[in-house]
Amino acid sequence: MDLLNTLVDKGLRREPLSRAEALAVLGTSDDDLLDVVAAAGKVRRHWFGRRVKLNYLVNLKSGLCPEDCSYCSQRLGSTAGILKYTWLKPDEASKAAAAGLAGGAKRVCLVASGRGPTDRDVDRVAGTIKAIKEENEGVEVCACLGLLSDGQAERLREAGADAYNHNLNTSESTYGEITTTHTYADRVDTVQKAHAAGLSACSGLIAGMGETDEDLVDVVFSLRELDPDSVPVNFLIPFEGTPLAKEWNLTPQRCLRILAMVRFVCPDVEVRIAGGREVHLRTMQPLALHLANSIFLGDYLTSEGQAGKADLEMIADAGFEVEGADQVTLPEHRASAGGCGSHESAGCGAHEGGGCGSHESGGGCGSHEGGGVCGSAASTATSSSTAAPQAGEARTDLVAVRRRGAGTDLAPNA
């Protein structure tokens, strides 16, 4: 296909795509899907080899958010039966982080629900960052605390944070339909504050909220203009008790096309499969590793994810390898520019694998509620005696509220 040859050539040269080319990727047929994956995979391997970066989420404060983001289980008015608790103490957060690091994660993503941190909250998070770094040499830490006020990004940087996550989530033209308590411009401002403070910026999107192909291209082109080091791609988890609970618009094939489009538009950026991969990609998750070079390990913020052991087996079986703590995530030209993928970038060990790039985070209106469950409680909802699901069927059986890890007395999934 001439289009794919053109896109590969552009990706290897870091040459920008046109909007028409990006839309054409989303418009390819299922018959051409493997060709699309193979083409985008060439770009992924050129810049990132066969490495997969693992990131681990720690939900520092869950639920009771005053923002009304329609996709989030922690939103104002949500009736989802999620865990609700106030700030974890630094030693509790450090203990939770240790589980993910033991499982192979190289970045810990500290998330807190809410509009944005107070100065006292920044002090709390600073203490948590110190506790984690004292116990784990070389660990990367990303914060996702919502909208930042002046000076807060600098304080987080001084405290040892390597990166900051704040997702755009959807296109500017449709943002007001998803959230009314803050604006798209507020989100852009926070990403720019993180950049200006020397933090590695992480910002992504949520697919599956009823948006058009044009909306998806709009938000990805906006992200390219912001130039974050990493772009988390979330797939909406239609959580019961939220306004988008009935939005089951994604198929595994569409998810792969979206990831391929993001890879072509942002060829040398860390693309992370974030919330919802287990729910929407399902058995096609290994194919997505040919497009993205980063995932979350284990559970998400308010929902369960695939078992950590299954994540590691999937990576190995697909012919990929877990990125080591001594490896730089970003390509040399980005790392040398000070991106958090460079060991030289003032405390940034590699790039922000995760932040709370998960849509579930609700984390300070930072992202969305990842879900999924292979290996979790929800996976028991089906058995060999259950009829096979039909194509396009809503898989509510694959959404399970997190009941272990941070905020509980049970061991985490990592």
> Which sequence positions are flagged as catalytic?
65, 69, 72, 109, 142, 202, 272
* Whether 236 contacts 207, CB under 8 Å: yes
Which amino acid type is present at position 177? E
Round to the nearest angstrom and report the end-to-end CA distance of the chain. Answer: 41
The H or E element spanning position 36 is helix 33-48
Q: How does DSSP classify residue 17?
A: P
> CB neighbours of 193 closer than 8 A, spacing ≥ 6?
148, 150, 152, 153
* Distance in angstroms (rounded) separating the CA atoms of residues 341 and 222: 22
Residue 273 has a CB neighbour count (10 Å cut-off) of 27
Cα-flanking dihedrals φ and ψ of residue 295, to 5°? Answer: -145, 170
* Distance in angstroms (rounded) separating the CA atoms of residues 143 and 149: 14
Q: Contacts by 218-222 with C-beta closer than 8 Å and gap 24+?
A: 218/171, 218/172, 218/173, 219/168, 219/169, 219/170, 219/171, 219/172, 220/22, 220/261, 220/262, 220/265, 220/266, 221/19, 221/22, 221/265, 222/168, 222/171, 222/172, 222/188
Q: Is 98 helix (H, G, I), strand (E, B) or coil?
A: helix
**Which of 270, 260, 305, 269 shows the shortest CA–CA distance to 404?**
305
The distance between the two most distant Cα atoms of the chain, rounded to a whole number of Å, is: 58
> CB neighbours of 88 closer than 8 A, spacing ≥ 6?
58, 60, 61, 96, 128, 406, 407
**Which of 265, 351, 303 shows the shortest CA–CA distance to 54?**
351
Query: Whose structure tokens read 């980005």?
Result: 334
Which amino acid type is present at position 254? R
